[in-house]
Amino acid sequence: MSTRMVPDEQLRAAGLLPTTQRRAVLALLVGRSRPLTAQAVHAELASTVGGVGLTTVYRALHTLADAGLLHTFDLDGQRAYRHCGAAPHQHLICDRCDAVLECPPDVVASWLSELHHHTGFTPHADRLDLRGICAACAPT
Ligand SMILES: [Zn+2]
Ligand SMILES: [Zn+2]
C-alpha cells in the first residue's frame, strides 16, 4: 500500500533534504506494518548503520512526521512512528500484534455519515483510528 518511491525521492517530494540520518530512518520504516518507537529505531540503526545518536533519531522522526511521511501512534504510552502511504486512509490497529492496516476512506464513509445522522457528531474523516483484532490474529 505504500508508495514505491525510494526514500530519497520521498524526502525530496516532501520538501526535505535527504540527509543520511533521514534516509536511514525512513528506509528502516518503509514496508513495516508495525509502528516503531524512537528507541526501537535507534536500537536497529545502531546494529546496522551505527553511530547515530538517539537525539538525532528523535529529530529525524519528528521532521519526517511533520512532513507527513510518517504517522504517529500510541504504543504502550510511547509515541511510535509508521511510514504510511500518501493516499488518504484510516488506520485499523491490532491490539494483539500492534500491526496498523491502512483502510481507504470510502470503506467507512457510509458508516461515518450514519454516525453523524444518529448523533450529530462530525468525525475527522482524515484521521480515524479503529482498534481491534486483525485478520491474522483473529481466532478462526
Ligand atoms: Zn497512516
Ligand atoms: Zn494482529
**What pLDDT shows up at residue 1?**
41
Query: Ligand 1: distance of its center to the CA of 81 in Å?
Result: 9
* Extents of the domains making up the chain: 7-83, 90-132
**What pLDDT shows up at residue 139?**
83
**What pLDDT shows up at residue 48?**
77
Q: What torsion do the CA atoms of 14, 20, 23, 27 make, to the nearest 10 degrees? A: 180
Rounded-to-integer distance, Cα 130 and Cα 140, Å: 21
CATH architecture of 90-132: 2-Layer Sandwich (3.30)
Query: Ligand 2: distance of its center to the CA of 92 in Å?
Result: 10
Query: Ligand 1: distance of its center to the CA of 34 in Å?
Result: 11
Query: Ligand 2: distance of its center to the CA of 2 in Å?
Result: 19
Cell of 59: 529529530
**What pLDDT shows up at residue 4?**
60
7-83: CATH topology is Arc Repressor Mutant, subunit A (1.10.10)
Give mean pLDDT in consecutive 10-residue pieces for the chain, a chain of 140 residues. 69 93 94 96 85 91 96 94 92 96 90 93 84 92
**What pLDDT shows up at residue 2?**
44
pTM: 0.87
Query: Ligand 2: distance of its center to the CA of 100 in Å?
Result: 8
